[in-house]
Amino acid sequence: MRDYNDLVKLAETAADRAGEYLRSAARPATQAWTEKGQHDFATEVDRAAESIITEILSRGAPNSIIVGEELSPQRAVRGDVVWVVDPLDGTTNFLHGYPQYAVSIGCVVEGKLAAGVIHDVCRNSTYRATRGGGAFEGMTRLSVSAISEPRLALIGTGFPFRALERLPAYLAQFAAVTGAASGIRRAGSAALDLADVAAGRLDGFWELQLSPWDIAAGALLIREAGGMVTRLDGGTDILTGDNDGSIVAGNGAIYRWLIELIRKS
């Protein structure tokens, strides 16, 4: 199963079905929260959503591999067809009823991002992209913003809450961006932040220490919308190798300014 359009349709079916479940699911009581790490929670809702996605992807592409946050977080993103799944990106938002969380499904074919879907659960809106086929929200083709002046730019970010030892370095970056851009936003779902870059609502984005399932689908959306996504060292291989999950993204002009500013700070 190598046709990218077939892959994205399958991912869209799985993401939409999981989104339907998440909209109907009750928020678990705090006693049912599992703390995977400091400030990092999971519940039966996450696991149920991933089971829905896994069943659909496995049935539609039986020889593929699934790398997911809850079921197989240690599995490498390697194989002929590999799905990179976050069943609930923004779990803490979901647990508090803060309406910013998503389902994210990326597909890697022979080592390259080939398809990506992000389903905005609260808005019931789906973003999709295929390699070489563009990025879309519904029927609307996406394009990154045309803003090129940093003083006019709105930048998204996320705090390194899983790696607080990196907080001093991040705060220096945050201060530098705050002083040069028009504003910074932190909403708590990296997948939706990346979708906002692809849609031109954010002009740039950076975050330290994300996981492959946080960024796979969103990175393809941005690239297919005309933007750039790389590691902090400028490398384009953001899912494998020695990358620690830190990324910089944006339209061409803001990306180049942002990565240089972060390196200096």
Provide the pLDDT for residue 1: 44
At 210, is the pLDDT very low, low, confident or very high (cuts 50, 70, 90)? very high
CATH dotted code for 4-141: 3.30.540.10
Closest CA to 257 of 179, 198, 192, 194: 179
* Half-sphere exposure in the Cβ direction for 18 (13 Å, CA): 34
pLDDT digits (tens, 9 = 90+) for 45-104: 999 999 999 999 999 999 999 998 765 555 556 678 999 999 999 999 999 999 999 999
Closest CA to 223 of 249, 193, 196, 262: 249
User: pLDDT exceeding 70 applies to what percent of the chain?
Assistant: 91
Query: Torsion angle of alpha carbons 157, 144, 69, 171, nearest 10°?
Result: -10
The contacts of residue 153 (CB under 8 Å, 6+ apart) are: 147, 181, 182, 203, 204, 250, 254, 257
Q: Is the dihedral of CA 26, 31, 35, 38 positive or negative?
A: positive
Residue burial 78-93, b: 16+ Cβ < 10 Å; e: rest: ebebbbbbbbbbbbbb
DSSP 60: H
- pLDDT at residue 39 above 70? no
Closest CA to 100 of 118, 122, 69, 117: 122
At 139, is the pLDDT very low, low, confident or very high (cuts 50, 70, 90)? very high
At 160, is the pLDDT very low, low, confident or very high (cuts 50, 70, 90)? confident
Provide the pLDDT for residue 97: 95
pLDDT digits (tens, 9 = 90+) for 3-38: 999 999 999 999 999 999 999 999 888 766 676 555
Lowest mean pLDDT among 62-76, 83-97, 205-219, 220-234: 62-76
Provide the pLDDT for residue 166: 87
Provide the pLDDT for residue 30: 77
Provide the pLDDT for residue 37: 53
Number of helices (H), then strands (E), in the chain: 7, 14
User: pLDDT exceeding 90 applies to what percent of the chain?
Assistant: 80
Domain boundaries, the chain: 4-141, 150-264
For 25, the token pair is: 């699911």
Query: Average per-residue pLDDT in the chain?
Result: 92
Model pTM score: 0.93
- pLDDT at residue 197 above 90? yes
Query: Reading across the β-sheet that carries 134-137, which strands appear in turn?
Result: 65-68, 81-89, 102-109, 112-120, 125-130, 134-137, 140-141
CATH dotted code for 150-264: 3.40.190.80
Provide the pLDDT for residue 77: 65
Q: What would the mean pLDDT of 102-122 be, rounded to a whole number?
A: 97
Lowest mean pLDDT among 63-72, 101-110, 213-222: 63-72
Q: What are phi and psi of 98, to 5 degrees?
A: -85, 120
The contacts of residue 15 (CB under 8 Å, 6+ apart) are: 53, 103, 104, 105, 117, 118, 119, 126
Alpha-carbon distance of 48 to 40, in angstroms, equals 18
Alpha-carbon distance of 105 to 119, in angstroms, equals 9
